[in-house]
């Protein structure tokens, strides 16, 4: 018998989506559209899209440890714009790198057991809040082979899922 898992957790799991931490302030309508993944469901998605052997991107040191290939580092560094709360920078610099639609549902992972599901438009709008931790984040659109990697020191790369 296949075990059924809950997909979504309470949004309060992530305190940094409260208005005092968000830039711009997260509206109640937008907050309702951000789905917090349960640890088990997040882990299942991580295993499917990222890695079955490593639980954080910073632990991936060997290409055989993950399901991403053809990583291309980009010249744009997001860190200065994050520090300056330049909310438009993400839309100007990252959105053109992928052909995702605003209403595409994407996955944003901090690690194997910590992630959310939201539209691409919401990720672009609140990118500063999502990057509260710069220890390697990955954005995956299940409809696309392309992924975005946002890591330490403003590192940005586009890559492909296998």
Number of structural domains the chain divides into: 1
143 is a domain residue: yes
Neighbours of 76 (CB within 10 A): 15
What does the pLDDT read at residue 129? 83
- Dist. CA 3–CA 29, nearest whole Å: 32
Count, residues in the chain:
162
Closest listed residue to residue 151, CA positions, set 22, 21, 58, 42: 58
Does position 2 have pLDDT exceeding 60, yes or no? no
Give the mean model confidence (pLDDT) for residues 41-65.
Answer: 87
pLDDT digits (tens, 9 = 90+) for 99-132: 999 999 999 999 999 999 999 999 999 888 888 7
Tokens describing residue 156: 């940005």
> pTM score, two decimals?
0.90
Tokens describing residue 41: 């469901």
Does position 13 have pLDDT exceeding 70, yes or no? no
pLDDT band of 42, cuts 50, 70, 90: very high
What does the pLDDT read at residue 12? 67
The strand ranges marked E within the chain are: 8-9, 35-37, 68-73, 105-111, 114-119, 137-140, 146-150, 156-161
The Cα-based distances of 26 to 2, 66, 83, 129 in angstroms read 37, 33, 18, 9
The Cα-based distances of 136 to 8, 26, 58, 66 in angstroms read 22, 23, 6, 14
1 is a domain residue: no
What does the pLDDT read at residue 21? 61
Give the mean model confidence (pLDDT) for residues 21-47.
Answer: 87
Does position 1 have pLDDT exceeding 50, yes or no? no
157 is a domain residue: yes
- Dist. CA 48–CA 66, nearest whole Å: 10
What does the pLDDT read at residue 54? 83
- Dist. CA 125–CA 23, nearest whole Å: 9
- Domain with 90, as residue range(s), is 8-56+66-161
């Amino acid at each position: 018998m296949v075990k059924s898992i809950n997909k979504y957790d309470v949004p309060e799991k992530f305190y940094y989506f409260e208005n005092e931490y968000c830039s711009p302030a997260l509206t109640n309508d937008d907050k309702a559209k951000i789905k917090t993944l349960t640890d088990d469901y997040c882990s299942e998605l991580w295993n499917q899209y990222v890695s079955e052997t490593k639980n954080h991107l910073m632990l991936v040191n060997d290409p055989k440890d993950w399901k991403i290939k053809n990583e291309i580092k980009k010249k744009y560094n997001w860190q200065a714009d994050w520090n300056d709360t330049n909310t438009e920078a993400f839309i100007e610099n990252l959105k053109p790198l992928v052909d995702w639609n605003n209403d595409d549902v994407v996955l944003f992972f901090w690690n194997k057991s910590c992630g959310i599901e939201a539209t691409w438009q919401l990720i672009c709008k609140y990118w500063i809040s999502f990057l509260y931790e710069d220890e390697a984040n990955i954005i995956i659109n299940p409809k696309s082979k392309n992924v975005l990697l946002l890591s330490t020191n403003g590192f940005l790369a586009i890559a492909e899922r296998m």
